[in-house]
Chain A
Amino acid sequence: MTTRTETTPVIPLPATAATTLTGLGALAVAASAAMSWTWTSDFPGDLTYYGSPVGLQWLAVAAGVLTLALLLATLGTPGLRWAAPTRSNNAVLYAATGALAVAAYSVTSISTELGGLANLEPGGWVLAGGGLLGVLGALGLPLDRRTHVPLRILDKRLFLLLPAAPVGWIAAHAIPGDKPVAPVMTALSGALAIAAGAVLLLQLGHLANSQLRLGKVDRPLPAPRELPSWVEVLLIVAAFGVGSYAITFGIDTDYGELFIGYLLLIAFMIAALAGSGLLGRLRALTLKYRPVTTGAAFAAAASFPFQTGEQYASVATNILIFATVALGLNIVVGLAGLLDLGYVAFLGVGAYAAALVSGSPASPIHVQLPFWAAVIVGAAVSMVFGVVIGAPTLRLRGDYLAIVTLGFGEIFRITMQNLNGTTGPNVTNGSNGIPRIPELNILGFDFSQTHALGGIQIGRFGNYYLLMLLVTALVVLVFARVGNSRIGRAWIAIREDETAAEAMGINGFRLKLLAFALGACLAGVAGTVQAHVTYTVTPDQYTFADALPPNSAFLLAAVILGGMGTISGPLAGATLLFLIPKKLEFLSDYQLLVFGAALIVLMRVRPEGLIPNRRRQLEFHEADEPAPPAADDDTTALTKAGA
């Protein structure tokens, strides 16, 4: 099934008018940052000043400037043409929509938090107007569109929710507050309102889709200009520099409103850059210089504590631990296809092993091994646990394995709780855990002290961040090398079809056990660092599900959301899954609701994950692909009807 495309505007406007409108809108959004958006400093970040942009205003500057740059690049402005190799106006539209999203979000959050549109200063109005103008203009540009998109109508029964929601609201308010059913009715009417809103939004989305008919930009990239290889390498480095800055900005956002605005901007800008072809260019470059890319990625990651303070280094360290464990889980889930719902237990095994041999006064084993030995102990004990748990369970397939691993994860936690001297021998100090794990000291480098590295003060979390980055690098190396080898191919074969894999001579059980053991071992290594970072190891850190990562449910979500079977996928997924709940804390009661909704939306939009494996992408978007050569499909009808 191939979809036909055309290049037409959505709103018929003269070409110059559309361009001018878009440009003016983008300029207005960027310029509004120099004006006051609101009169009071009650809104986080204090947006009351003229001439000195802060927080959300910087996002507006970025959105406006990027939109303008992409517009000029698409028009073919000399010097900017590199930014839009495809010359597709869709990129401009996405960027302008990103600007509108930032503007709309800023204006609504200002007016809801402060109580009314009256709280907007002229800058706020310029921002909103500019955002709207930009999108209107961009819709008048010739866009890459499908020729026909049928309007999808939701199941008619769902529309019954629309009248039901106000009825529920009236009913909930009609009942006096002292009746026992009142809270139930309130909750029910709330749920009805949310469901009705979702239906309305979905149907509006379908309507917009059938009207806008925006398709994927699949214009071929023109051949890149011949550049000396050192320039290409520099381009990769520059791209990673920009990426590192963008991620650092996200981690450093110090209030929730800024983080949401940032996420909106990033999402639309990535769409815009993909549409302009710039991301395709970058991918071609990174494929050409793989070692440089890996090096640049790690250099960018290592630069983090040099750019930011101790507070965010602690967040980043926890992200790294979470991401590394997610990558280890990706071996088990993504490569070998084994659904493990108790994976966090292996992180716990590593952490407990390291805590026991760390010399903590609460540890019944009064030894203090050097860190390298503790890592080996943690990895080995974890691996043994992996084999012990895997050997009986890996004979099961699919859902059964998932349930058994879920059970083992909980058994680990409860066992650690019970080894407290009362209900069992005292090994782990029960639910109090093992506290006062001493700080690491490797070759005289004291991790608890602030050190000056290259003239910049790196504090405790910065030190641990850099150590954890080494562990991450190790896990990435192992994943990359094993994944692309005889063993990795065997894992993927088992994931694809275990019976066929065994018929090809693969010892399924043995290889699944190997995947399980390797995954456990890597999580154990991460656990040994985690024990020192958190000072204390308690059983409650290693649950199946919790509001904050890492726990087994979040780990699995990071792998699936990020992209199964890839390296960067779980890393990106883990980063996002760590930051979203953390930054949404200002939503208090609604935090998990919004987080859940965000997950549903993400999985609906990108079922293959943020950074999909090439194979998975084909699996989920078969309809978008050019039809495979199907010459033989027609002729199978002519086959012999069995003798």
Chain B
Amino acid sequence: MTTTTAPLLDVTGVTMRFGGLTAVNDVSLTVGEGEIIGLIGPNGAGKTTFFNCLTGLYVPTEGAVRYRGTVLPPKPHLVTQAGIARTFQNIRLFANMTVLENVLVGRHTRTREGIFSAILRLPRYHHAEAESREKAMELLAFTGLAHKADHLARNLPYGEQRKLEIARALASDPGLLLLDEPTAGMNPQETRAAEELVFAIRDQGVSVLVIEHDMRFIFNLCDRTAVLVQGQKIVEGDRATVQNDERVISAYLGAPLESTTPAAPEDTQ
């Protein structure tokens, strides 16, 4: 484990049990300032459950999640307010709102305008609203969706819906962005565009923790990668460490032999 910067997110010994089933077992992980960390593992390994523990959707049975040194409250909206934003594995946009409105909803925690302000419409309200819109349009421009600001989210093609989810998450000015399979269902060109986008997000000073099945995407992108198998973190490290780990290979392939997946490097035996 090589952490060059002070940890932004510090997960220690998180365990999540549902009755007798242990979905996540004693997982520790750190994410440093400006890092891109990958999280991989076979289907059902507990990656999304782990994410849900980080974002307050689940309260971990054991262990603690610290963000910038403070323990995160177990409520999704408070986690977002603290500075962790997320996207969802199966896209969860507000389908019947426009693209711009989706991003404006993302601004919710960073704006204060309440119900009386909305009814009275004092100058302060107009100012805050204009600022939100400006910021949202910037984010849409950043993700390349500015020309679709007035479209309904449901009418966007798949790849743009993924981008919009990211723009919406970024609207809350996060310090850490959690991406849950951001390239699922994308073709190779779109995957490359997504890579560029993640780098651009990191360059803006946002750390990224990303779940992905696409090994090429993960290894191109990530400073470190952790592998989750049956709820346990079996290895963490750079590309070579992960690719050469026998437990990873057996977890993915079962038997050490033929495969067409890019995840199976030839030199692992």
Contact = CB atoms under 8 A, between A and B. Distances in A.
A443 B75 CA distance: 52
B103 to A, nearest CB: 10
A487 interface: yes
Nearest to B174: A505
B113 A485 contact: yes
A632 B159 contact: yes
B263 interface: yes
B108 A502 contact: no
Nearest to A510: B77
A504 B106 contact: yes
Nearest to A482: B118
B187 A489 contact: no
Nearest to B160: A632
Report the contact-size class of chain A (Cβ under 8 Å from the partner): 35 or more
A115 interface: no
Interface stretch (A10-18, A118-126, A213-221, A614-622): A614-622
Interface string A336-374: 000000000000000000000000000000000000000
A489 B155 contact: no
Residue among A486, A487, A630, A642 having the largest count of chain B Cβ atoms under 10 Å: A486
A174 B132 CA distance: 76
B36 interface: no
B152 interface: yes
Nearest to A507: B77
Nearest to B186: A639
Given A508-B77, A633-B157, A640-B213, A481 B94 contact: no
B187 A488 contact: no
A615 B96 contact: yes
A477 B116 CA distance: 12
Contacts of A628: 155-157
A643 interface: yes
B215 A619 contact: no
Contacts of A96: none
Interface stretch (A56-64, A275-283, A299-307, A491-499): A491-499
Contacts of A504: 77, 80, 85, 105-106, 108-109, 168-169, 171-172
B92 A500 contact: yes
A477 B119 contact: yes
B245 interface: no
A486 B113 contact: yes
The winner among A477, A505, A629 for most chain B CB atoms within 10 A is A505
Contacts of B92: 497, 499-500, 503
Interface residues of B, number: 63
Nearest to B113: A486
A503 B158 contact: no
B184 to A, nearest CB: 8
A114 interface: no
B262 A643 contact: yes
B185 A481 contact: no
Nearest to A642: B213
Contacts of A502: 75-77, 80
A231 interface: no
Contacts of B95: 496-497
A478 B121 CA distance: 11
Contacts of B213: 640, 642-643
A632 B108 contact: no
B190 A487 contact: no
A508 B77 CA distance: 8
Contacts of A490: 105, 108
A506 B96 contact: no
B252 A643 contact: yes
Contacts of A223: none
A638 interface: yes
B1 interface: no
B119 A640 contact: no
Which of A504, A635, A643 is most buried by chain B, counting CB atoms within 10 A of its CB?
A: A504
Contacts of B105: 489-490, 493, 501, 504, 506
B158 A632 contact: yes
Interface in B139-154: 152, 154
Task: Give the interface centre of A502, A503, A636, A638 by most chain B CB atoms within 10 Å.
Answer: A503
Contact of B190 (A478, A489, A615, A632): A632
Nearest to A625: B155
A518 interface: yes
B10 interface: no
B94 A492 contact: yes
B223 interface: no
A506 B190 contact: no
Interface string A599-639: 00000000000000001101100000000111111011011
Contact of B114 (A477, A478, A487): A487
B81 interface: yes
A636 B158 contact: yes
Best-buried of A477, A501, A502 by chain B (most CB within 10 Å): A502
A635 B187 contact: yes
Given A628-B155, A642-B213, A489 B81 contact: no
Given A496-B97, A643-B263, A638 B187 contact: yes
A610 B227 CA distance: 55
Given A500-B92, A633-B157, A486 B118 contact: yes
Contact of B97 (A493, A508, A639): A493
Contacts of B97: 489, 492-493, 496, 615
B261 interface: yes
Interface in B64-110: 75-77, 80-81, 85-86, 88, 92-97, 101, 104-109
B115 interface: yes
Contact of B55 (A503, A615, A639): A503
A632 B157 contact: yes
Interface in A405-421: none
Interface in A252-303: none
Contacts of A501: 94, 105
A640 B262 CA distance: 10
B43 interface: yes
A492 B93 CA distance: 12
A500 B172 contact: no
Contacts of A29: none
Interface in B153-182: 154-160, 168-169, 171-172
Contacts of B221: none
A500 B169 CA distance: 10
A1 B128 CA distance: 41
B59 interface: no
B250 interface: no
A514 interface: yes
Given A636-B186, A640-B213, 17 more contacts: A477-B119, A482-B119, A486-B113, A487-B118, A489-B104, A490-B105, A492-B97, A496-B94, A499-B76, A502-B75, A504-B80, A504-B85, A505-B81, A506-B105, A506-B108, A631-B157, A643-B40
24 contacts: A481-B119, A481-B121, A482-B119, A487-B118, A489-B105, A492-B96, A493-B97, A493-B105, A496-B95, A496-B96, A499-B57, A502-B75, A502-B80, A505-B77, A506-B109, A514-B115, A615-B97, A618-B96, A632-B160, A636-B158, A639-B187, A642-B213, A643-B252, A643-B262
Which 6 A-B pairs have CB atoms at the shortest separation, nearest pair first?
A505-B109, A505-B80, A485-B118, A632-B157, A500-B92, A643-B263
